[in-house]
Structure formats: structure tokens, C-alpha cells
Amino acid sequence: MAVRYFSLLCCLGLAFTAQAQDCSRPIPGTNMQLREKDAETQEFPPGSKVGFTCVIGYTPAGGSPSSVCTGGVWTPVTLTCERKSCGSPGDVLHGHIEYHDGTEFGDTAEVICDEGYKLVGRSQLSCGDQGWKGRLPVCEVTKCEPPPQIADGVYYPESEIYEYRESIQYTCSKDFSLVGSKYRSCSGTGTFEPEAPTCSNIKCPNPEVENGDRYGGYKPSYKYKDTVQHKCTTGYTPIGDDVSTCGPDGKWSPPLLRCERTTKPPKTTKGPVTVGPGGKVSALLLVHNYLV
């Protein structure tokens, strides 16, 4: 009886010792941390209750954040933490947003403007704990300064500033010809394209064709881009094109038509027919008065 009583006391003592054991500071789960008031304590007496929160950039996704010290062991924590989502930062007029990884905490996005528009602000955004960091940039239309006027010519319309794709048109003074493109446009780089034309007083020599006649393009003088048409007189064969244009170098292109005398094949005639002895027939073939 005494032995049995002693054994019972020993068991109760061991149970009491186990129940009275302290807990060391618990280790947080994935993407968690102890609440600030619990983080500085190293030992926790039995029955202590601690709480966990999600680290910066993460948000609770279910489960209990609490744990209790029981017999020197912490009860399981069921809290789960997932990355915060920043969603869409908004729409960019005349541009779009490219997401390199996604829209969650730590991800980045880049704002890209359409052609002819330039970015005002920072192009990169970063998803933070409180949403996208920084202000959403804007895309403004590219503008061009008015180009200088050209010698012996003008362009219109004139304006203090031109926006992307707005065009101007050039004309030259009287007796001058435009060399180059007639139109230029404000490009996405903020400059006018293509290069500015020039106004030139280019003249080509009088288009005389020996043994030929002009049947198109009669003018007292010929300047850049003027055209003429020729044909050969009877008895002459044309060599080259019948239409030529006055080029920027003051020369006709292609070269003016050439007319060469037509070569005719020799005429062949038969001579008189004679009957020889025995009834044989012979004939004379005359070519250009030569006997064959």
C-alpha cells in the first residue's frame, strides 16, 4: 500500500513538473513575425499566449495568429500569409503598362508611351506594402520647333509649335524649282523629316535633236523637272527614249533621243532571160548594177 501511494505521488509530481515547464521564444512561420510586444521576451511561462502578424508586403489569408505555451510546447499556428496585390496602377493615355513579373509586392511595372509621345515622370513603378510607389507618369505628345525658312522659298502653315505628324508644305519663288521633298512632318524624335528641300534656278540646254522633231514640251527655256518629247524624221531610226526630263544637275535624263539614218537592204532585179542551144534557159541576176 505504501509503495503504491509513493508511485502515485511520483507520477503526479512528474505531471506537475511537465505542466509547469516554460516555453522559449517561438519561431515564426513563413512570412510571419511575432507581435512587437512578444518579440522582446525570451522565456514564456506556462499558459502564455503570443500572437503573430504577417511581415511587410504580406497580408493574412486565413487561420489563427495565436499560439499558447502548453507543457513547454507552443500550440500550432494556423495563420497563413500571402503577398499583397497592388492591382492595376491605372490607365495611361497614349501609352501602356508592361508588367515584368506581376502585380504583387516586390514586382515592377514599366510605362511605355506610344510612338510620337514622350514620358513625363518615372517610367518604372514598384509594388510596395501600401500599393504602387510613386505617381503614375503621363505621355505627352512630341512637339517640334518651327524649322528655318529656305532660300528662295517658303513653307506653310507657319506656327509657333508643331505637334507629332503635323506637316508643312514648301514652295519656291518664281523661276525657281523645288529640289527634294515637297512635304515635311514633325517626327517622334521632335524634328522635321525628311531633310529640307532647296530652291534652285536650274536650267537645261535647249533640247535640239538632229534629224528629229519635238512634239511635246515646247517652252522658251527649260528648268528642273521640265520634260520634252521627240521623234525622228522620216528615214531615220530612233535610238534611246523619246521622253527626257531636266535633272537637278542641269542635264537631260535620260539623254536626248538620237536619230540615225535608216539602212535599206540592196535591191535585187533579174536580168533578161535567154534560151541557149538545146533549149537551155539562163538568166542574169543584177544587184546594184553588178552582174552575178
CATH (domain of 127): 2.10.70.10
Same domain, 182 and 135: no
One domain, residues 53 and 102: no
Boundaries of domain holding 209: 203-261
Q: Which amino acid is at 66?
A: S
**Closest among 163, 146, 145 to 155, alpha carbons compared:** 146
Q: The cell 506656327 sits on which residue?
A: 159
Task: Flag whether the pTM goes above 0.85.
Answer: no
- Count of structural domains within the chain: 4
Q: What is the pLDDT of residues 230-284, one digit of tens each?
A: 999 999 999 999 999 999 889 999 999 999 999 866 555 555 555 555 555 444 4
Residues of the chain with pLDDT under 50: 1-18, 281-292
Query: What local confidence, expressed as pLDDT, does residue 63 receive?
Result: 94
For residues 61 and 73, state if they share a domain. Answer: yes
Q: Which of 55, 83, 111 is the last residue of a domain?
A: 83
Check: CB of residue 259 under 8 Å from CB of residue 236: yes
Predicted pLDDT at 275: 52
- Is residue 159 domain-shared with residue 183, that is, in the same domain? yes
The DSSP letter of residue 224 is T
Residue 290 lies in a domain: no
190 and 222 fall within a common domain: no
Same domain assignment for residues 210 and 192 = no
**Domain for residue 277, yes or no?**
no
Question: Is 292 part of a structural domain of the chain?
Answer: no
In a domain, 7, yes or no: no
- Which cell is 274 given? 535567154
Residues 185 and 168 in one domain: yes
Same domain, 121 and 166: no
What is the C-alpha to C-alpha distance for residues 244 and 231, in angstroms, rounded to an integer? Answer: 12
Is 171 inside a domain boundary? yes
